[in-house]
Structure 1
Amino acid sequence: MYFGYYDPTFVFLIPALLLTFYAQTKIQATFSRYLKVRSLRGLTGAEAARIILDRNGLYDVPIIVIPGRLTDHYDPSQRVLRLSEDVYYGNSIASIGVAAHEAGHAIQHQVGYTPLIVRNSLVPVANIGSNLSWILILLGLFIGAMGLARLGVLLFTAVVLFQIVTLPVEFNASSRALVELDANGILFDDEIRGARKVLNAAALTYVAATLMAISQLLRLLFITRDRD
């Protein structure tokens, strides 16, 4: 049985697991480090995001505070920028960098950035794939219905595609953020380098998630092929 203690396909996941652990450690350490470094202008994350949004004609996009740490995100369905308390109220380089990144997503939405449109279109099927794929795979393997298992693998492919498309969306949002921080004088040279380190560390978590999804898909393909 492949899903037991001696599952030989688990080796597919080892590189992704190691990268995930490193990425999570890196983002926590980098964010915590630059969360303690106050920006020279003293702007908060919310103020920095407001400047960027307004300079790009996004006056009607509200910025609200939400609980949690690194829970920041832009909601394209409601056109709302949601920032965690550390980012919303904080005047650190980390706070401003993360806020600018999320504002970058709002700009992507405004200009119709193609990878963002593709990613948003994949959300429904990716959610279905994430919730249903493993049920179908495990059930198919358990009762020997390989057609059902392969359907689960197909649904999981949508999750992988979503993760792959997410990469250019996140990298582009960070690039836009750094340009805006410089062009609007929100951060200065040394501070922008610090913000870049924070955003690069955050980007690594998306790379790790993508590698994990691809590794899991390869593992599932190997399992279903072998059972045939």
Structure 2
Amino acid sequence: MDMFAFMGPYGPLILLIFVASMLIQGYLSSTYRKWGNIRNPRNLTGAEVARMMLDENGLHNVPVEMVPGQLSDHYDPRQKVVRLSESTYGVPSIGAIAVAAHEVGHAVQDKVRMPALVLRGQMAVPLSLGMNLAPLLLMVGVVIKMSGLIWLGAVLFGAALLFHLVTLPVEFDASRRALQYLKERGISGGGEAQAGAQKVLTAAALTYVAGFAMALAQFLNVLGIARSSDD
């Protein structure tokens, strides 16, 4: 049995998507590195833009905090806080304001109770527990030839696929809100700076598309293994 057969019918596809995701991650890093070194026309830091956007949307009680790392930026809907990485928080670059505005976009989604964001939040904890079990269920099911366990693992992988699918509109909408805000307030200055902000957010969006593609390939792979177990 060769390596691809052991991995299942979609093993080659998973490897291909994995390579593509690494290339996308490299593209994101290089894009952010470029625009993270170019000052925005208003000379505002990521933290300043985040605070402005939050206040203008009536989110005065949502704090903006700095966290270690690069591109570790996120909005925490449970604690209602925007967390910006060191490379975003105090940096007046085009990349920094694009990322900061994107994270505030999630805070605005939370305020208006965007259905996809609410659904993603409800899925996060149980799915995290389920995905820790899924590979074990699949492996044990294959070893002891119990198709029930394999199918249960397939269901959990299917739930992960749904999570990635729900994530796409959430991320795209946050980027749309960010770009619209930067343009309408004249923060990005338009022209090349606005195009740079869009490139940063597009590169980030591609990582979520790659994540969905990987989840789809894994689900199809496990589904093929489950069907084979019934033969």
Cα displacement (A) at 1:18: 3.1
Gaps of 5+ in 2: none
Within 5 A, what are the aligned runs for 1:105-116?
105-116=106-117
Q: Deviations over 1:170-193 (max 9, x none)?
A: 000000001111122221112111
| Deviations, residues 151-204 of structure 1 (Å, cap 9, x unaligned) | 111112111110010000000000000111112222111211110000000000
- Give the deviation of 1:80 after TM superposition: 0.4
User: What is the CA–CA distance in structure 2 between the aligned matches of 1:49 and 1:220, rounded to whole Å?
Assistant: 42
Q: Aligned residue for 2:209?
A: 207
- Do the aligned partners of residues 38 and 207 (structure 1) sit closer, same or farther apart at CA in structure 2, a change above 3 Å counting? same
Q: Please report how far the alpha carbon of residue 14 of structure 1 lies from its aligned counterpart in structure 2 after TM superposition.
A: 3.3
Counterpart amino acid of residue 227 in structure 2: R
- CA gap 1:225/1:5 in 2 versus in 1, 3 angstroms: closer
Alignment of 1:176-215 (within 5 A): 176-190=177-191, 191-215=193-217
Give the 3 Å change call, closer, same or farther, for CA 136–6 of structure 1 in structure 2.
Answer: closer
RMSD: 1.6
Mapped to 2, the partners of 1:22 and 1:145 lie a distance apart of 38
Identity, in percent, stands at 44
Uncovered stretches (5+) of structure 1, i.e. residues with no partner: none
Q: Is the 8 A contact 1:2 1:223 kept in 2?
A: no
TM-score w.r.t. structure 2 length?
0.94
Distance 2:24 2:84 in 1: 21
1:37 maps to 38
Runs of 4+ in structure 1 displaced over 4 angstroms?
1-6
User: What's the TM-score, normalizing by structure 1?
Assistant: 0.95
Could you tell me how far apart the structure 2 residues matched to 1:175 and 1:95 are? 16
Q: Which letter maps to 1:92?
A: S
In structure 2, relative to structure 1, the CA distance for the partners of 1:75 and 1:148 (3 Å cut) is same
- Partner SS, residue 64 of structure 1: strand
Give the conservation status (yes or no) of the 8 Å contact 2:50–2:101.
yes
| Native 8 Å contact 2:49 2:101 kept in 1 | yes
Query: Once the two structures are superposed, what CA deviation does each residue of 1:76-104 show, in whole Å capped at 9, x if it has no partner?
Result: 00000000001001100000100000000
Q: Distance in 2 between matches of 1:143 and 1:4?
A: 21
1:132 aligns with 2:157: no
**Count of aligned residue pairs for this structure pair:** 228
Q: Quick one: distance in 2 between partners of 1:203 and 1:120? A: 19
Aligned partners of 1:3, 1:213: CA distance in 2, in Å? 20
Deviates more, 1:13-22 or 1:166-175: 13-22
